Amino acid sequence: MLYKTLSAAVYGIDANIIQVEVDCSGIKCDQDHFHTVGLPDAAVRESRDRVRAALKNCGYDIPPTHITINLAPADIKKEGSGFDLPMALGIVGAYGGLTKKEMPDCLFVGELSLDGGVRGVRGALPIAIEARGKKIARMVVPEANAKEAAMVSGVDVYPVRSLLDVIHFVNSGNGIVPIKADGDSLLRESQQFFVDFKDVRGQQTAKRAIEIACAGGHNILMIGPPGSGKTMLAKRMPTILPPFTFEEALETTKIHSVAGVLDQGVGLVGTRPYRSPHHTISDAGLIGGGAIPRPGEVSLAHNGLLFLDELPEFPRNVLEVLRQPLEDGTVSIARASMSLTFPARFMLAAAMNPCPCGFHNDRTRDCQCTTPMIQRYVSKISGPLMDRIDIHIDVPAVNYKEMRSTHEPENSATIRERVIRARQKQLARFAASVLREKLYCNAQMHSRHIRTFCELSADCERLLERAMTQQGLSARAHDRILKVARTVADLENSTNLEPKHIAEAIQYRSLDRTYWA
């Protein structure tokens, strides 16, 4: 007998609806004949043992017969353990254990344990989005994935704990009610941070640079001796970034769901991601990869912050792979059997010492490094990568008086209000423009946007020309200066760029001359 159920396969960060066709011959064999076809991977092929054990322990002792399972369409690679549940349900249905012959309006996904329990799977959110797009009204998912899938409106999500729950649901609708989730309220509740800029004493120049970076979405590099507070500042940057919109939260949650790093108890990434990989990471770990490509750290930081501490300690080939995502906001990974593109629109924050010992130009400690040692150290970061970092800021050691000062530093909430106002000004400007490309912040502007939104007066032209000539800056650095100047003007609620805005933006490129001349 033939029985059909619906499931889904995740491909990159999107899903494809898969029809699970189960055929049982009913003829007993001397040995088990259980075949799965339709480009299954090892995890799908191994499901035969999990499915048989789960059915047996739930009271369905399937005799050794010819069982053929086809995952259609057969030309799409299937991976993961999420097909266990629809396979088991199809076998029960093929032997007449289900009252309904077909359920074309319901999708099933879940991994089975040997006792018949249903475990969580990766990619429940993109599966729910695809189900809504294909007009599938209902989804049966593991309880661990229910909140995540319920974020998608238009699909009823039924959480289950065991295979028996699913069988009873199909046969009689045994009281399982669809779960409801309010994404907007979850976003509001998640806006809580355990760190604050008021904890940082001194470093007013660095705080100002970080505020500008967050207001315009600019990449930033902090250079200073050990213990000056670079990592402390970076950890507090998410507290002043604008809050997520629901669409951004869904987009980010899709990536975390596919990568298997989503907190199942929450179901939605409510705050902008903060990723800080160790400098021993490989290029595949940073950018993504594998036989079947998975998102890397740059994609997990999508719509958030990627912090690279001790930047020169990263292998050069690892740093060079950052060029494409920093420029395009996407990562394309090609394999012999497939080519996938992952979103990677993130804000880069990096920190480094000025020399191997860390005390070059320090006021209190003597540097033990020679000039060639310093040059070799900083040359680990290529010029093209440096050009893609908008703001370079010196973070000197904090003196004793600043550390013991009784003056209360500005808190993150106050800074965040200014950042949000600046972002709103940018969004209004881009929405009113005839250039219809979707932009979210000044850092995403291209050359044509810069010409439109960054008109310069004669004084600004002379100032910028003098800086370009004296410091030998590249054309890319020219564009970065104008983007940063536009953000400085937005923070001051100024419509036109003024010489002081240009001067401050040029100041944040001065490390080009100091270290990379």
Q: Read out DSSP for 346-366?
A: -EEEEEE-SSSSS-TT-SSS-
Hey, which residues does 108 pair with through a beta bridge? 140
Task: Give the tens place of pLDDT for each residue, 152-188.
Answer: 989 999 999 999 999 999 988 767 899 988 777 777 7
3-state secondary structure 305-350: EEEECCHHHCCHHHHHCCHHHHHHCEEEEECCCCEEEEECCCEEEE
| Whole-angstrom distance, CA of residue 498 vs CA of residue 485 | 9
User: Who wins on pLDDT, 56 or 338?
Assistant: 56
What 3-state DSSP class applies to 6?
Answer: strand
Say if residues 126 and 13 touch (Cβ distance below 8 Å).
yes
Residue 183 DSSP SS3:
helix
Average pLDDT in the chain? 89
335-347: per-residue pLDDT in tens?
777 788 999 999 9
Tokens 């596919």 belong to 258
Specify the pLDDT at position 405.
80
What is the per-residue pLDDT across 446-463, written as a single tens digit (0 to 9) for each?
A: 888 999 899 999 999 999
Q: Report whether pLDDT(291) > 50.
A: yes
Q: Count other C-beta atoms under 10 Å from residue 316's C-beta.
A: 12
Task: Give buried/exposed letters for 146-169 (b at 16+ CB in 10 A, else e).
Answer: bbbbbbbeebbbbbbbbbbbbbeb
- Residue 65 confidence (pLDDT): 81
When pLDDT is cut at 50, 70 and 90, the band that residue 433 belongs to is confident
pLDDT confidence band for 380 (50 / 70 / 90): confident
Q: 293: part of which helix (H) or strand (E)?
A: none
Q: pLDDT band for position 311 (50/70/90)?
A: very high
Strand partners, 106: 138
Residue 262 burial by Cβ neighbours in a 10 Å radius (0-12, 13-18, 19+):
buried
Which of 176-190, 213-227, 400-414 shows the highest mean pLDDT?
Answer: 213-227
Angle of the 458-471 helix axis to the 475-491 helix axis, nearest 10: 140
What is the percent of the chain where pLDDT is above 70? 96
Distance, CA of 48 to CA of 45 (rounded, Å): 6
CA distance 374 to 364: 19
The answer to whether 71 and 44 are in contact (CB under 8 A) is yes
Q: What is the DSSP code (8-state) at residue 193?
A: -
Question: Can you tell me the distance from the alpha carbon of 363 to that of 133, in angstroms, rounded to the nearest whole number?
Answer: 62
Average pLDDT over residues 33-58: 89
CA distance 492 to 483: 15
Q: Which residue has the higher pLDDT, 124 or 62?
A: 124
Per-residue pLDDT for 514 more than 80? no
304 vs 404, more confident: 304
Q: What is the pLDDT of residue 304?
A: 95
Are 33 and 65 within 8 A, CB to CB?
yes
Single pTM value for the model: 0.90
C-alpha span between 157 and 159 (Å, rounded): 6
pLDDT at 307: 97
Nearest to 355 by CA among 380, 383, 392, 384: 380
pLDDT at 117 over 90: yes
Q: Which amino acid is at 35?
A: H
Tell me what pLDDT residue 517 has: 44
Q: Is the pLDDT of residue 205 over 80?
A: yes
* pLDDT number for residue 181: 83
d(CA 414, CA 240): 9
The H or E element spanning position 406 is none
Q: Would you state the pLDDT for residue 516? A: 46
Domains contained in the chain, CATH given? 2-180 (3.30.230.10), 187-416 (3.40.50.300), 418-516 (no CATH)
Cβ-in-10-Å burial (0-12, 13-18, 19+) of 420 comes to middle
Locate all alpha helices (DSSP H) within 159-271, ordered by sequence.
163-172, 183-189, 204-216, 230-235, 246-259
pLDDT, mean of residues 256-263: 90
Angle, alpha carbons 263-269-273 (nearest 5°): 105
Q: Give the CA angle between residues 341, 344, 350 to the nearest 5°.
A: 145
